[in-house]
Amino acid sequence: MQVHSQLNNLPAFRNAVITIGTFDGVHTGHQHILQQLQEAAAACNGETVIITFDPHPREVLAGDKSVRLLTTLEEKISLLAHWGIHHLVVVPFTREFSEMSATAYLEDFLISTFRPHTIIIGYDHRFGHNREGGLELLEAEQEKYGFQLLEIPQQVIHHAAVSSTRIRKSLQEGDVALASELLGYPYFLNGVVVHGDKMGRQLGFPTANIQLNDYRKLIPAQGVYAVTVDTGDGHLHKGALNIGTRPTFNGTELRIEVFILDFDREIYGSPIRVDFLAFIRSDRKFDNVEALIAQMKNDVEQARAIASRP
């Protein structure tokens, strides 16, 4: 997959079959669109082109610095590459771009820049200033500009619409199993291993403290999770991960730390990825250290059992 970030330096696409969206999470709803994209491109001997935006439009339009992403740009690129997409165009999203009228967006951006053979959009896709453009405008201009238009209807899983919003909500509630079902893969965090205060080591459970690669990445609810861990050594390890403030020790700083089972290498400064398998329990304060250690032993055995399932 070729990734483009300069709109004035794009190649001449062959029968471009395009779709537009933030694609945050590249979830199962998005994946249905990707399948349609590939089928339409194969039918016209064309190239698949995804247009996405960075930063997230809400960060620009609402000045919302609390936006939490299911996938960073780098993670989104990696997920889309697995789908065999030909081109990903990352459009710098600015306030000026957002104020473009729907007609100008269609004529000066989509048609002039991409010369699409086919445009594929979701049933509720809106564009242009104040979201004034949509399917009705594309249908009205379809004959004039000679592109085909394919609408993707609302995707439904278990009688509820698949959406990035619903996935975020499930993660914020600790329901990583539902999030993974809606995503089509386990939710994951990428970061680097940093030094902590070695408290886990003193308790008999040395943990790897994770500093996320992007502060905007959504962190699931506080608690203990069964995870798999990729430390870059070519092996996938089982782990018990805690997201919390260490309430037993009156901590206040949110930390993400993982105890990697059957693992004894020093990996400070190394990249690390954790994939969430299941929620084990909420983060809570224990009466004493002995009670905490007993619970941690139980957490680890639960994590081992969960991660050992086929």
Which residues are known catalytic residues? Answer: 257
Task: Quote the crossing angle between the two packed helices 176-183 and 164-172, to the nearest 10°.
Answer: 160
How many alpha carbons fall within 13 Å on the CB side of residue 217?
A: 20
Largest CA distance in the chain: 74
Question: Which residues are CB-contacts of 15 (< 8 A; sequence separation ≥ 6)?
Answer: 41, 44, 45, 46, 47, 117, 118
Integer Cα distance of 258 and 43 in angstroms: 47
Which amino acid is it at 188? F
Residue 259 is encoded by which pair of tokens? 């105890």
Distances (CA, A) of 172 to 175, 226, 307: 8, 16, 22
Per the omega criterion (within 30 degrees of 0), is the bond before 55 cis?
yes
Residue 24 is encoded by which pair of tokens? 């945050």
